[in-house]
A and B are shown apart, each in its own frame.
Chain A
């Protein structure tokens, strides 16, 4: 089995704890049957990608060119109306979501 980076406590296969932690990072709720299924499939996939070699630095070619930039000018944008057209909930020209800040008392 491949070596593990310093600080990693997981084994090669994806553990349930890892899966649930990663799902939380990705903000995904997984029902129990999906957890079981993903656990076995992801372990296989991770073992598969473990086969990637650690290619020495000298083999890399330079990245193509600098990123292209443009002048900082306002171009064509969506209007607020266009942007809100597909909102699941909107109010007074804003996207409406459940409160996430505590109410002032």
Chain B
């Protein structure tokens, strides 16, 4: 197996036993980037090879001296381009920030570097994390490594494609309505949304501040858990960051599942799920049942309003968060503006993409005088009521299981003219963000066309480590470890 193909757990074992060097691993990954990224467009910026390898060699020296800094020493990690690094630009997939180099580093990036990880590059995303397909990037779409005519999902499509194809061992993404989990599902990898507040948002370009979280992406649950462990925890720079530490989750065997109560929401599974997704999901939960899990049907009648509530709340917050892109202090400024108002209007009109504008306008509309009660207040009330409904469900079951998305990866261009259809791909993911709950997508199999299908597990607030342990057990149970075969820029697979 070539080093870039190793899962985090496999790489870690070889690195720890010194049968593989970080330099070899990082070189393998960089070669893979050189080979595949011209085809997949997962990266917006890639670091200089010499810088990456120098850090890899430092990691090797630390290991040789018996002093590795942490669990991520020498592991190549990709970072979604809405998370600030101070060594590479942070574009958020937007023309408005195309040359922007952040004057500060995100806490999550600082922590992963302190844990010894080597940042390989910044990955592509839907502009300002607004999208479910990675087609809204100002720098062109990323392609799905499983089928180049299809989307990798979004908004963390670049990170998902990079990890799935071996262009990084691990990646950071961000998730506001499903943007880590849905692309993880579409690309056949693991994507984890921590409980709101468990990972600092300092340095994450804000989209919807009450919903955004940074989340790890990996080919194995162990990698997601290690990356989560490294970046999570209270940060005084983020006032929404939860106080206290988070217990470390360890891998668990399928026997761990015995006696667990898993809820299947009848309201979610009744209709709208592709038949092949439904059958992969069914096989996964049946094998959980055989391992001793008690499956229970649960009712979540209010949850059918989740996508509507999500778009009102998220877009309202986005309209405020994106007001800062005004051409004044940073980012691009439109030329030839005659007065300050013109600077704002022309800059924003020219430099922001259509989806961003759509959401800003919807958000401004729902907050405007005469509409705030009808839309925003109702959405927030519905959001709280749905959170209460989920809390009640978790008194009866330990976890809630569903497919990550109602279908597998759709084709490029298929939904760009139908925003509502695009939004509906988040129908199972938005609930966790709205209620601040942890949720994980892990690969459960493939549909009839060979496209990956994700299984989503959602847990009660704060149960991140328990959820990761269950996911690890399910991963062992499902035993799926396929990799996409991608034609390289040079022609060889």
- Chain B residues whose CB sits within 8 angstroms of the CB of A52 once the complex forms: 305, 308-309, 312, 375, 378-379, 382
Complex Cα gap A59–B391 (Å): 12
Complex Cα gap A44–B357 (Å): 16
* Residue B365 lies at the interface, judged by CB distance under 8 Å to chain A: yes
Query: Size band of the A side of the interface?
Result: 35 or more
Contacts of B359-385 to chain A: CB distance below 8 A: 360-362, 364-366, 368-371, 373-375, 378-379, 381-382, 384-385
Are the CB atoms of B349 and A19 closer together than 8 Å?
no
Are the CB atoms of A19 and B361 closer together than 8 Å?
yes
Q: Taking A2-B374, A5-B370 as contacts, is the C-beta distance between A42 and B349 under 8 angstroms?
A: no
* Residue B13 lies at the interface, judged by CB distance under 8 Å to chain A: no
- Chain B residues whose CB sits within 8 angstroms of the CB of A44 once the complex forms: 419-420
The residue from B319, B337, B345, B379 contacting A49, defined by CB atoms under 8 A apart: B379
Complex Cα gap A52–B302 (Å): 10
Complex Cα gap A11–B348 (Å): 28
* Residue B481 lies at the interface, judged by CB distance under 8 Å to chain A: no
Are the CB atoms of A98 and B342 closer together than 8 Å?
yes
B389 → A minimal CB distance (Å): 9
Are the CB atoms of B375 and A49 closer together than 8 Å?
yes
Are the CB atoms of B358 and A41 closer together than 8 Å?
yes
Complex Cα gap A90–B348 (Å): 20
Which of the segments B257-265, B290-298, B321-329, B402-410 contacts the partner chain?
A: B321-329
Are the CB atoms of B104 and A78 closer together than 8 Å?
yes
Q: Taking A4-B374, A45-B311 as contacts, is the C-beta distance between A18 and B365 under 8 angstroms?
A: yes
- Chain A residues whose CB sits within 8 angstroms of the CB of B341 once the complex forms: 27, 100
- Chain A residues whose CB sits within 8 angstroms of the CB of B382 once the complex forms: 52-53, 55
Are the CB atoms of A86 and B346 closer together than 8 Å?
no
Are the CB atoms of A23 and B326 closer together than 8 Å?
no
Are the CB atoms of B368 and A25 closer together than 8 Å?
yes
Are the CB atoms of A14 and B365 closer together than 8 Å?
yes
- Chain A residues whose CB sits within 8 angstroms of the CB of B354 once the complex forms: 34, 37-38
The residue from A38, A85, A86 contacting B357, defined by CB atoms under 8 A apart: A38
- Chain B residues whose CB sits within 8 angstroms of the CB of A74 once the complex forms: none
Are the CB atoms of A98 and B339 closer together than 8 Å?
yes
- Chain A residues whose CB sits within 8 angstroms of the CB of B489 once the complex forms: none
Are the CB atoms of A28 and B381 closer together than 8 Å?
no
Complex Cα gap A99–B350 (Å): 21
Are the CB atoms of B101 and A86 closer together than 8 Å?
yes
B196 → A minimal CB distance (Å): 10
Complex Cα gap A37–B353 (Å): 13
- Chain A residues whose CB sits within 8 angstroms of the CB of B333 once the complex forms: 88-89
A sample of 29 inter-chain contacts (CB < 8 A) reads A5-B371, A5-B373, A10-B370, A18-B365, A26-B364, A27-B323, A27-B345, A28-B357, A28-B361, A29-B346, A38-B361, A42-B365, A45-B420, A51-B308, A52-B305, A52-B378, A52-B382, A55-B302, A55-B381, A55-B382, A61-B384, A70-B236, A82-B104, A85-B103, A86-B100, A87-B329, A87-B330, A88-B333, A99-B340
Given A34-B354, A100-B339, 6 more A-B residue pairs with CB atoms under 8 Å apart are A8-B370, A23-B361, A45-B420, A48-B311, A51-B305, A51-B308
Residues of B within 8 A of A (CB): 100-101, 103-104, 236, 239, 243, 302, 305, 308-309, 311-312, 319, 323, 326-333, 337-346, 348-350, 352, 354, 357-358, 360-362, 364-366, 368-371, 373-375, 378-379, 381-382, 384-385, 387-388, 391, 419-420
